Structure formats: structure tokens, C-alpha cells
Amino acid sequence: MIMFTVPLIPVPKGRPKASAFGGHARVYTPAKTAQAEREFVSFANEHAPSEPIASAVIVRLRFVLPVPASKPAWWKAAALAGRIAPRGPKDIDNLAKLVLDALNRSGRYWLDDAQVSTISAQKCYGACPATHVEIETVAEPRTKAEWRAPTSKPRSS
């Protein structure tokens, strides 16, 4: 299992931008998203496996967000104690998308992001904003017998 923490404020993946030039449309990644992906990979690369993973993977993500400075002290204390969950503008799916795209573009974690079979993601508040990442390989069956589903025993009443 690969586990690491990227000590940066989590950034959601921005929507692709489009522009027209000379009658042709061009779609590109926003500069803020591209920069966030580069920064994420710069921290993550030191934890990359020696070779990209070839099997299916399970990815678990925990996004620790900073407590908003505009909130009163009682609210901040409750958020840091885990009694208030983030529900602000940072969509969890866009936070996960940035991480998965960054790791995929690095080319060091897996061969293709289609190998990600399960994603688990959580947002919470914390004193030290960061993204905690766990990547677990999935053992794939090698023989025909291993491919068969286990037989279930009848229920006893």
C-alpha cells in the first residue's frame, strides 16, 4: 500500500476552458488547475512506486480543509472537533478529480486511470490543510477457479 500526505490546501479541478482562434475551437485546462496539479505531483512523486502499478487499484482520499477565517470562534472549535462538516464551494468530486488526474499525468503511479476500481473520498476541517492519499493494489485472480464466485451457504432459520 502506498500512503502519503501532500501538505497543500486542496484545490478542486477547474472546468476546461474553451476559446476560438482563427475559426478553430481550442479547449485547455485553466492555469490555476494546471499549477495545482504540478504542485501536487511535486510532493507525490517521492512516494511513487519504482514501476507503475499494472493491476486495479483502490484510492482513498481525505481532504483536510482550512477552517474559514470569517467564522466565529465557537464555530471554528466545533469544525476542528469534527462536529461540522465542510459543505462549501469545494465539491468533493472535483477535489478527487484533480488528485487522480495529477497522479495519472505523472505516469508513475499506474498505467491508466481506468485501473482505479474504487474511490473513497472525505472532506473535513483541520488545523493543517492537506490531502491524505492511500493507494492499494487489488489482487486479481490468476486461475479459472479463482474467477468463480464463492458459493454461498444456505441460510439456517
The string of pLDDT tens digits covering residues 34-52 is: 899 999 999 999 999 999 9
CB contact at 8 A, 126 and 64: yes
Report the C-alpha gap between 39 and 10 in whole angstroms.
11
Report the C-alpha gap between 75 and 79 in whole angstroms.
6
pTM to 2 decimals?
0.81
The string of pLDDT tens digits covering residues 78-114 is: 999 999 989 877 899 999 999 999 999 999 999 988 9
SS3 call for 71: coil
Cα–Cα–Cα angle for 11, 90, 114, rounded to 5 degrees? 65
Q: How many CA atoms lie within 13 A of 80 on its CB side?
A: 14
